[in-house]
Every structure is written in C-alpha cells, then in structure tokens.
Structure 1
C-alpha cells in the first residue's frame, strides 16, 4: 500500500507541478517606487506596483536551524537599518516540483504582504492569511500573486511559508512539538499578523484564515487547536475537508501520534540515526537533501498532541472547535488530476481492468467490489469514473459532511467550483478532459507563479465574482454583496462561467450516500 500511495502522490505532483513553476516567482514591477514600513522587528522596504504594494520575505520567526530544527518557532531577531522586501525569500525545504529545482533553505519562515495602494482607508482593511497547499510537502507563499484579490476586494493578503515534509512534521518520542511544527509555524504567522498587520493598513481584529488542499486541512487543524484560539475571526477551506477517514486515499487531515512516530523512526533509520545514542542530535546534523530523499511522499500533522489534541473531524463532530463563520467548498472534478496521473503511470481504466485498479487503490476487504458496482465503467476510457471515485470519496462527500457538522453551530457558506473548461494547470495534454479538477479554482483568485492564465470574458467575470465573494466574506462574514449573484445559506453555490446559482444541498450530484456508510 505504501508503494501505491507514493505512486499516487508522485502522479498528482507530475500533473500539477508546472502549474506554479511555469513562471518565476513574483518580481517587482519594472518601475519600482520603493515604500518603507516599520514592523515590530524593523523597517522593511517593499515595492510599489500599479495600484498595490508588496512586501516579500518578511521573517515572522527565527530561522529553524541548528538547535531550532524541530523546535517550536521563536521570535525573529530584530534587524538594523532597512530590510529589502522587494523579492520573495527562499521556499522551505522540498523536492523539485512547484519550486523549480526544489529548496534546501531552512531559513524559510517568511511571509509576504500585498496591500492596495492609494489613500489610507477610513477603516483598516480586512486581512486574509493564505496557507498554501502541496501535501504538506511542497509549496511556497510566494507562488500566490494576490494583487487581484487585494485591489478588487480592498483587502490585505498575507501568504505564508511554513515548514514542510519531515522538517515540519517529524514525530519522535521525547521531542516536544512532535508532528506539528508546521502548524505551529502557521500560528506564529497569525500572531505576527495580529501584532503587526496594522502597519500595512490591515485590521488586526478582522483576520480570515484561508487555504487550499493541505492549506485547507491546515485551516481545519487550526479550527480545532486550542493554541489557535483568538488568532483568526473567519475561515475559508478550499478542497481540504475536515472529516475524511483513514481508509481513503487522501482522507486524513492528520494522523495519530503513534503513526507519526513510526514514520519518524523509519526516517531516522534511513538516514543512519536509528540506533544512535541521541537520535535527535544525530538527525539535526543530517544534511537537508538527505532528509528530503528519505521522507515520505506526503505528510500529515499528528494529532493526540498538545497543539492538536484530537482528530479535527472528531473534534468538529463533537463541537470542540473555534466557533467562527466558515466558507467551504470543493471542485466538481477533484479526482480527475490524480486519475489522469495514475493512468499515465501505467494503470489504464477499462471495463476489464477496472476491478484490479480499484482493488489496487482501495484495498480494504470488499471495498473495491462495492466501488465497481457503484461506479461502473462501460467504455474503454474509464478515467472520469476513477476520477469521480477519488473526488467523491476524498473531497465532495467529506466537504458535505464538514458543512453539515459546522453549520449546526456556526454560519457556513458552501460552494462547488464547476468550470469544466477551467484553464489547464499544465501545458501537456491529459488522457481525458479534466473538467474542474483539484486546484483549478486557484487561477481565479491568484496569478500562480506571478503569471495570469488565459481566460475567456465569462471566466474573467467568474474570477471577479469569486474574489467578490471571498473578500466580502472576509469583510462581513457574509459573501453576498450588491454586485454578486445571491448566495443563500444552506445551499451549494455552483461557480461556473455565467452560471453562478444556488443548488439545494440534497441534490445527489455525487455518490455521498454510498460513501457515508463506508
């Protein structure tokens, strides 16, 4: 099963990696009018663009190196003079993919601020803190150019780097913070925002925590973490539902500490520290590139820990979460990217092969046979069927469940992104049309890698509507506004070009009755 999951992680990485790496990270405008802001750690000089300003690579925690590798984040040391914040800092250590060539730079706990230009507003602007996706293994805050959201929505956007992979989520007996260092980094960034975003025109008392995929799972974790209490006022969860199950491919947003410790022990053995007298000291001396080569393809935070006492899904089911308004959703064809990658890796899905493919990726006794009956393949090209299985099991149906649990206690607004002709995230031709797969909503909110995607006029209108919804929610906890189609609560707002309409939550567009009993 480990080999299968590793293959699956690699497959989606191959499908999605060039979405961000196709262009270099955001760079300042050609004619840069520098602007200087005083933070609580020192002066920073950002860059002025057409209608907005950026401040990139601002430290929110000390470099987690040496004795601070696998330690809770510490306050950054203040700096003398004016710090250059016109270009992003290095990404946290990760293999090649979203970040061209990868990264081995442990001095990576930085954030980026995008704020509208012009006269100071009568009131501070709402703040959106964005947590990137990437399976808790890849990604960087600087990949998300947020200027359209900032200027159209009149908000301040903060994108965050946090420790990834084994460096962010190693668990080991006797190690305080085991399995949750990346989540602790996110909380440190939120504390930085509460303390200092006012210098950039943001309202420290109106902070929305948002994220997609692993970033969405992170928001779920922070909703249930006692140490995140009071750090944010609203939450946006994109394609990272809180209520997955461990018997599904991408279901758990966290794993038990015992599981994480077993993974940590395997890593220590692989890098030659398994039998060391002081395994942690040994691990802290291991070169970053060697750790990256030895770590699992995907990571999850550990629960049953001080930062994350319980599984987020169970905590939400029992009402043990921070009661803030939530905007949550998924994409209509979440699983198609994974299905395409698996097919290209040598697993074609046809009526004859479908039972074996299902058994390979859903090996629980009897589960594969039930899936084949519920999702029959009648044609040679069964890729969309396989994609529907992954999407329903791991995204659409857990999102519906999360919505149901949250909305019993807090205001919840739920969407489904359904542009079947969304701009492709990669230049290659997939084995079947992907529709609206995982991450396909992101170009409507951000210029990924600093490069806008080609869109039709209708898609541009949809992008404007989504930004209006997201930033309206950040402003008032209600996405509705005078220029957007009405979004009623207790419905699913379908987001497609020139087709933004509410759909009753009970409409069976996915096979959730099947998955809810499994």
Structure 2
C-alpha cells in the first residue's frame, strides 16, 4: 500500500496535481441541419464546427503536424493543408498519458496536437483567451474544459490546447542539443496558429490573453519569461502556478524531496542519457542513441517512471534562458498586464491523500513534521502556526504548506511583476466549493478552497452551484473577460479590484461581502517565509 501511495503522490506532484477528470460537462445533442454546422476557412483548410444557441464550437483542429517518427522531440511544424472541409465536431486525440486518478495503463496518442475553439455566436474582434490545461505536465487535455460561460456570456473567443506531456514533451538528450522543452514549443505553435486564424472565428489576433492553472499556470509563467514568446500574447492570467512555486522536502511523505518545477537543463539531459541506456539504446554516439529512441514504440516510453521523471521544465536553453522566478525578480519578462492568484487552501487536497499512511494525529507529530521539512526554522514556523489555532494538527500543517508553497510565492512574484506592469492579485476563498477532482474526502479534513477548486467558477461543469456561488462565478468570469478585453478587470457593478502594488489582494468568495480586499501577506505570514528564503526567495531547507 505504501508503494502504491508513493507512486500516486509522485504522480500528483509531477508538475502540480492533476487535470480535471470530472470537470467537463456533457455537451448537448446535435442535429444534422446545415445551419447547425458552420464552416470556417483556416489557413490550412476549411473546418466544420457545431452551432449552439449562444456560441459555436470547432474541436479537434490540428495546429501542428503529428510529432511522430523523425518528428518525435522536434519543435512542432505546421500541419499539411487539407482538401475539402475537415470535420471539427469532436475533440481530437489526447496526448499520451496515464489516468489522473486510479489504476490503468497509458492512453492517448502521440498524434495529439489539436486545439478547440469556442466563440460567441455573433460578433467580430472579440478578445481571444488561450487556455493551457493543468495536469502536472503528465496528463490532461484541452477538451476537458468547457468555456461556454466565458464565450457566451463574456464575449470572448476561447481556445483550449493539447500539448505533449511527460517524456514526449520534456525529454532531454545530448543529440537534441539539450532539453528543448517541446511541451512549451507546442504551446507557442498554438499561439502562432491563433495569430494566423483568430479573426475567422470572430477574434482579435492583436488581443490575446494566455491563461492556465497549475501546470497551465506554470506554462503562462514560462511564456512571460521566454524570449521566444515575445509578441504572441498581450495579457496573462496565472492561476495556482506562479514562477516561484515550490514545495519543501518531505512535506507529504518522508521519501519525497523538495518539489521545484523548473530545473537546469543539464539535469534533464543527464536523465535522458541514463534513460536511453536503460531502454537498450546505449550507443557510442549520441545521434545513434537518439535514432534508437525514436524507433521505440509509444508503449516503451509511456511508463509511469519516464512520464514523471520528464515532467519538469528545463531552463538554461534558448526557450528559457533563465530560471523563471529569477527572471521575474530581475525584470526580464514581457511587459503585459497580469492577473495572478492562488486558492486559500491549496495544499489540503495533496496532504489529504497521504494522511492514512503518514498521519498528523497530534501536536507531537505536527512538530516532528515541521522539523523534517524546515529544520532549525521549525520553532519559528510553529510559533506562527500553533496547532492550537486550528481544528486539527493536520489542518495546521496544510496551512503551513499552502503558505510556503503557493500563496507567498504568488505574492512575491506579484510584487516583482507590479514594479513594471499592471498586476491584479486574487485569493480564491470559497471553502464550500465543489470538489472537482474526483478524489475521495477525508473525515475530519475538509478540502476547503483547495488546489484547482476555482475552475468550476470559470468553466461549465456538471457540478451544481448555489445561488451565491453562481453569482461569484459570474463575477469571476466578468473579471477574467474584461481583463482580456482591456487589461483591466474592473467594470460597472462589480467590486473594484485594485492594481498592485501596494499590496492589495482581492478575496473571491460568495455572498454579499464575499469579494473584498485582504492583507494576504499578513494573513499568510509571508514575512516569515521571506526571511527564510533570503534575497532570492528560495527556501533554505
């Protein structure tokens, strides 16, 4: 049981939690009338989508050639032109991945570079929002997210994107010249497709917002700091995946080290050379090794170990020359307005999965856990987060891990961004939000406003929201789309969202006074974590 749990937790942490296994709502039934099947001419050929009452969908559109055979681990190239009208009434294949939850083997295809467009039924020059899904860079797909609320009510053209995952997207090897981060190259190719094609879907190619959550948020961080993304977008929204996101060592299980999503390229290249030898492709010449690896079938590479090992983004290359958190601190990022935020109880969903075998049953166990993660700083951490101030010691630990891993890094990056561009910070605070993950609850350990729980407020899902929660969802969608349209989320009738700095964080919660400013830095003891991290904001443990 312990080994299985360890594998599951590593999968959760491979690049930040999971995709949305139960997020996508079932679509309506469609008739066959010509009026229900609009046709749009893209730069590679015509596509036939689906018409709905207030929006249109075009799914499974290829934005790059299949990255198979000689194109495995190469930068994406444009797809071949097609004759006639291509059906775009259903999503394309998802990229190779393992189930986000539960047992099972790999699914999906290497031929997976598809995107989906949801646009308002009428209108031109709408703001375009490009969504990069979460899933730890090891699972997920664009079609899991249904953006009808943003398109029909908000008036945005929304594009959701598949991109290569795990070993197929973040592999490194000497013969590749390093670790080219194909995952992020795919996303940039999708943004170039948007620039070329947004107008025919009613969008404005000169007004593109990139947004994403978890690994998708980390992706947005990369595009903010990657020279290769210059000019491909004009606004950015980072949800629960800041450039400074980290996790302290042994936070969830004794054998787990610190989690950092960005690693030096040399580490990935060394891992790639070692993997080649284990796969029987060891050769005297790197080029021969790579040729052997490209000759392996998908199943030989799609193993849990390889998918998770190659789920970290490499820096020190042409795409990402500098570690993103340091690039932000040095002001080396694209000058676009930014929304950035985190959920109030981010780490509860992670910690809850380990409590059965690694419990935090009492104050003594809590204190021991603090020492394993924070060493000599543990007494200071315990003084700021005494177990007696929380319903249980486990919830105290979850709060500590949330603050050090997510909230305070988000605020730190917000300050760096705010020195140069309009920056709007939020904290999602609905502790009654639906558990979208499909993970079982833990008695006595409510998940609250945990990692990813804000997604049901932005995308159409099968979950029922209360009246106040629906009002919050409308407010959030309004903020997001107004920001995409103008670079400022504020509008008539909505509580004002102040630009940062000064340190101003907008609490997003249901109810008449649920949306209001908070002093998140004080509430989350960020001064403590800054003092531990030193000038560069990195923990010393």
With over 3 angstroms needed to count, the CA separation of the structure-2 counterparts of 1:73 and 1:397, relative to structure 1, is: same
Residues 27 and 86 of structure 1 are in contact (CA less than 8 Å); yes or no, is this contact kept in structure 2? no
Q: Tell me what 1:408 maps to.
A: 419
For structure 1, the residue ranges without an aligned partner over 5 or more in a row are none
Q: Tell me what 1:517 maps to.
A: 531
Q: Tell me what 1:39 maps to.
A: 42
For structure 2, the residue ranges without an aligned partner over 5 or more in a row are 250-256, 533-541
Tell me how far 1:380 sits from its aligned partner.
8.6
Aligned partner of 1:472 among 471, 482, 492: 482
Residues 247 and 401 of structure 2 are in contact (CA less than 8 Å); yes or no, is this contact kept in structure 1? no
- Give the whole-Å Cα distance in 2 for the aligned partners of 1:359 and 1:7: 24
Residues 419 and 435 of structure 1 are in contact (CA less than 8 Å); yes or no, is this contact kept in structure 2? yes
Aligned partner of 1:105 among 106, 109, 119: 109
Tell me how far 1:270 sits from its aligned partner.
3.4
1:189-244 C-alpha deviation (Å, 9 max, x unpaired): 00000011111000000000101111111111111111110000000000011124
- Give the whole-Å Cα distance in 2 for the aligned partners of 1:224 and 1:7: 31
With over 3 angstroms needed to count, the CA separation of the structure-2 counterparts of 1:381 and 1:272, relative to structure 1, is: farther
After superposition, where does 1:109-188 map in structure 2 within 5 Å? 109-118=113-122, 121=123, 123-176=124-177, 178-188=179-189
After superposition, where does 1:73-92 map in structure 2 within 5 Å? 73-92=76-95
Residues 127 and 203 of structure 1 are in contact (CA less than 8 Å); yes or no, is this contact kept in structure 2? yes
Tell me how far 1:321 sits from its aligned partner.
0.5
Residues 45 and 85 of structure 1 are in contact (CA less than 8 Å); yes or no, is this contact kept in structure 2? yes
Q: Tell me what 2:492 maps to.
A: 482
1:129-177 C-alpha deviation (Å, 9 max, x unpaired): 0000111111100000011111111000000011110110001113046
- Give the whole-Å Cα distance in 2 for the aligned partners of 1:150 and 1:176: 41
- Give the whole-Å Cα distance in 1 for the aligned partners of 2:64 and 2:347: 36
Residues 403 and 414 of structure 1 are in contact (CA less than 8 Å); yes or no, is this contact kept in structure 2? yes
Residues 71 and 177 of structure 1 are in contact (CA less than 8 Å); yes or no, is this contact kept in structure 2? no
Q: Tell me what 2:455 maps to.
A: 442
Aligned partner of 2:385 among 375, 380, 392: 375
After superposition, where does 1:50-65 map in structure 2 within 5 Å? 50-65=53-68
Residues 115 and 151 of structure 1 are in contact (CA less than 8 Å); yes or no, is this contact kept in structure 2? yes
With over 3 angstroms needed to count, the CA separation of the structure-2 counterparts of 1:480 and 1:389, relative to structure 1, is: same
1:435-491 C-alpha deviation (Å, 9 max, x unpaired): 1000000010012xxx33111000000000000000000001000111311112231
| SS across alignment from 2:386 | coil
After TM superposition, the structure 1 stretch with the greater mean CA deviation from structure 2, 100-109 or 492-501, is 100-109
After TM superposition, the structure 1 stretch with the greater mean CA deviation from structure 2, 241-250 or 325-334, is 241-250
Residues 101 and 439 of structure 2 are in contact (CA less than 8 Å); yes or no, is this contact kept in structure 1? no
With over 3 angstroms needed to count, the CA separation of the structure-2 counterparts of 1:473 and 1:483, relative to structure 1, is: same
Aligned partner of 1:333 among 345, 349, 366: 345
User: How many residues of Structure 1 are paired with residues of Structure 2 in the alignment?
Assistant: 507
CA RMSD of aligned residues (A): 2.6
Tell me how far 1:517 sits from its aligned partner.
2.0
Tell me how far 1:340 sits from its aligned partner.
0.4
Q: Tell me what 1:390 maps to.
A: 401
Q: Tell me what 1:460 maps to.
A: 470
Q: Tell me what 2:252 maps to.
A: none
1:58-88 C-alpha deviation (Å, 9 max, x unpaired): 0000000001000000011111111111111
| SS across alignment from 1:462 | helix
After TM superposition, the structure 1 stretch with the greater mean CA deviation from structure 2, 287-296 or 211-220, is 287-296
- Give the whole-Å Cα distance in 2 for the aligned partners of 1:284 and 1:53: 39
- Give the whole-Å Cα distance in 2 for the aligned partners of 1:68 and 1:358: 47
After TM superposition, the structure 1 stretch with the greater mean CA deviation from structure 2, 170-179 or 74-83, is 170-179
- Give the whole-Å Cα distance in 1 for the aligned partners of 2:279 and 2:84: 41
Q: Tell me what 2:298 maps to.
A: 288
1:407-447 C-alpha deviation (Å, 9 max, x unpaired): 01000011100001001223632231111000000010012
After TM superposition, the structure 1 stretch with the greater mean CA deviation from structure 2, 182-191 or 290-299, is 290-299
- Give the whole-Å Cα distance in 1 for the aligned partners of 2:101 and 2:8: 17
Residues 339 and 384 of structure 1 are in contact (CA less than 8 Å); yes or no, is this contact kept in structure 2? no
- Give the whole-Å Cα distance in 2 for the aligned partners of 1:394 and 1:246: 5
Residues 11 and 17 of structure 2 are in contact (CA less than 8 Å); yes or no, is this contact kept in structure 1? no
After superposition, where does 1:236-275 map in structure 2 within 5 Å? 236-244=237-245, 252-275=260-283
With over 3 angstroms needed to count, the CA separation of the structure-2 counterparts of 1:98 and 1:61, relative to structure 1, is: farther
- Give the whole-Å Cα distance in 2 for the aligned partners of 1:317 and 1:125: 33
After TM superposition, the structure 1 stretch with the greater mean CA deviation from structure 2, 271-280 or 308-317, is 271-280
- Give the whole-Å Cα distance in 1 for the aligned partners of 2:24 and 2:75: 31
Q: Tell me what 1:343 maps to.
A: 355
After TM superposition, the structure 1 stretch with the greater mean CA deviation from structure 2, 131-140 or 256-265, is 256-265
Q: Tell me what 2:29 maps to.
A: 29
| SS across alignment from 2:403 | helix
- Give the whole-Å Cα distance in 2 for the aligned partners of 1:129 and 1:222: 12
After TM superposition, the structure 1 stretch with the greater mean CA deviation from structure 2, 246-255 or 497-506, is 246-255
After TM superposition, the structure 1 stretch with the greater mean CA deviation from structure 2, 143-152 or 237-246, is 237-246
Q: Tell me what 2:535 maps to.
A: none
Q: Tell me what 2:376 maps to.
A: 366
